[in-house]
């Protein structure tokens, strides 16, 4: 009945004709939450046109950087965690 948010909010007055209990209250709640509903949709939408200058092959895991990770592990008290890393960068 409402495939998207725009269709839902296109004609709120029409919703009061639906055979639902408390339909007037529902319409009021929809109207009160319209701004936050569209903001939420905007925030949850993945931008497909975002610039990305990265080749897919560059995204493959290359291993952990021991020089960067070892001091961090020592600072945080992870004594044995470095032993569990299966692959270190050469």
Could you read off the pLDDT of 27-67 as tens digits, one per residue?
Answer: 899 999 999 999 999 999 998 888 878 888 888 888 888 88
pTM of this structure: 0.52
**Average pLDDT along the chain:** 86
- What does the pLDDT read at residue 59? 84
The C-alpha atoms of residue 48 and residue 44 are separated, in whole angstroms, by 12
Of residues 7 and 14, the one with the higher pLDDT is: 7
Residue with tokens 């009945």: 1
């Amino acid at each position: 009945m409402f495939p998207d948010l725009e269709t839902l909010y296109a004609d709120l007055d029409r919703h009061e004709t639906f055979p639902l209990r408390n339909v007037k209250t529902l319409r009021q709640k929809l109207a009160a939450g319209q701004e936050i509903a569209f903001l939420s949709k905007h925030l949850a939408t993945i931008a497909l046109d975002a610039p990305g200058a990265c080749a897919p092959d560059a995204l493959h895991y290359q291993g952990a950087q021991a020089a960067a990770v070892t001091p961090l592990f020592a600072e945080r008290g992870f004594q044995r965690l470095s032993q569990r890393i299966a692959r270190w960068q050469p």
